[in-house]
Amino acid sequence: MSLKSQETIGANQRKITFTVERPVFDKAVDKVYRRQVKNITIPGFRKGKAPRAIIEKMYGKEVFFEDAVNDCIPDAWDGISGEITETIVSRPEFDVVTIDENGVELSATFFVKPQVEISDYLGIAVNRPAVKVTDEEVDEEIKRVQTRNSRMIEVSDRPAQNEDLVNIDFEGFVDGAAFDGGKADGHQLKLGSGQFIPGFEDQVVGHSIGDEFDVNVTFPADYQAENLAGKDAVFKCKLNGIKYTELPAVDDEFARDVSEFDTLDEYKADIRKNLEEQHKKQADNQMDEELIDALIGKLEADIPEVMFENETENQVRDYDNRLRMNGLDLKTYFQYTGLDLDGLRKQMRPGAERQVKTRLALERIGEKENLTVTDEEVEAEYARLAEQFGMEADKVKEAVDRASIEADLKVKAAIELVREKAVVTEVEPTPAPAIDSEN
């Protein structure tokens, strides 16, 4: 194999021509003949026994050429692509230029990584939310743990009240007639939850076990069932049972039951520490997102579309792998969500574009800053991957080449440099959206 020519046919598109010597091609043709002859029938010969010369005479000497060329391409490309100094980012498209007594001349068209420029990447001004943990946050976490460790207590000596879980039978009537979906026996309802029509739960409050009573309500005007919207209704109800949630007392005994600590103060201090770590990670992530937005804004590059397409496919495959780890697959996911593969690709596309641009920016920063990695850092990364995937380090080294590891570590070093040199302003954190505890 030998490289004949290289040419630029677009901003990041290249075309090369290269040759496969005649002896190599002839050997491939003979191999194709031996593979296919068993399926060829020629009059006067048993099936699979026709000589190559007879087949070529009947069907033309080029009968085996196409498959022979296809057989030659992988080895030829492996030998030639190493001579291309630019980074190839797409599958090459091959064409036959000529086949003659000298061999085969082929062309390959492909895209390469674009030239990238970026400036003013040190000293970027960003905001970072202040890391603060309030007493209310600590109390909310304790309340969540309380709820997880609560128990339901049967009530027999008092009427129902808000926050109770009641068991009721009911049947609804409009204009004296029962309606579809308006009847249930043994229904569990938490009073005050707003599950039922406005006014219903309030009228259960105050009744005792065994009581039979009417609940009078009006369906909302925008109720989903049009035949009931805006109608007055009477529900015939019977209260079968009452339970309430008993929360454990928040004291040292509670701390010992739910944690490794002996006192409530120690437990609260640990909760505060964990919340601070969570807030710090969130603040760091938010700052990094701002830094990346800024870097992408400073990036100058004509990026081939194929790079975005390839990264989109990578993210789809990664998502499929994550689904499989949880006992699902894309087919099942599509059934649940109503999406299809094109819809998922569309969802993944913005993140893929962001990933490609971020990587290009950080790689260029690494080049401009002459960032290097040590052997110790490379070995540590192999060890980390081995632990993450439960593999031996030697197996990881077989699967992931050193150049890839070094490239990833340089990208990591680049973002660390940008982060270190950023001009950071601490700001008040944005309040988290309220969470409905009933959901």
pLDDT tens for 131-144 read 999 999 999 999 99
* % of the chain with per-residue pLDDT over 90: 74
**How is domain 2-113 classified at the CATH fold level?**
Alpha-Beta Plaits (3.30.70)
Domain boundaries, the chain: 2-113, 151-246, 283-427
Task: Give mean pLDDT, residues 359-366.
Answer: 96
Give the DSSP H or E segment for 195.
none
38: DSSP letter: G
Distance between first and last Cα of the chain? 67
Residues 167, 211 contacting (CB under 8 angstroms): no
Give pLDDT, residue 435: 44
Q: In angstroms, rounded to a whole number, what is the distance separating the alpha carbons of residues 339 and 331?
A: 10
Residue 335: phi, psi to the nearest 5? -65, -40
Give pLDDT, residue 336: 86
pLDDT tens for 20-72 read 999 999 999 999 999 988 888 888 888 878 888 888 888 888 999 999 999 99
Task: Give mean pLDDT, residues 138-163.
Answer: 93
Residues 244, 165 contacting (CB under 8 angstroms): yes
Radius of gyration over every alpha carbon of the chain, rounded to an integer in angstroms: 35
* % of the chain with per-residue pLDDT over 70: 97
In sequence order, what are the beta bridge partners of 107? 17, 95
| Architecture in CATH for domain 283-427 | Orthogonal Bundle (1.10)
Residues 111, 308 contacting (CB under 8 angstroms): no
Reference 350, options 378, 315, 321, 380; nearest CA is: 315
Query: What average pLDDT does the chain have?
Result: 92
In CATH, which of 3.40.50.300, 3.10.50.40, 3.30.930.10, 3.30.460.80 is domain 151-246? 3.10.50.40
Sign, Cα dihedral of 357, 363, 369, 375: positive
**β pairing state of 423-427 and 125-129:** parallel
Cα angle for residues 409, 410, 413 (degrees, 5° grid): 90
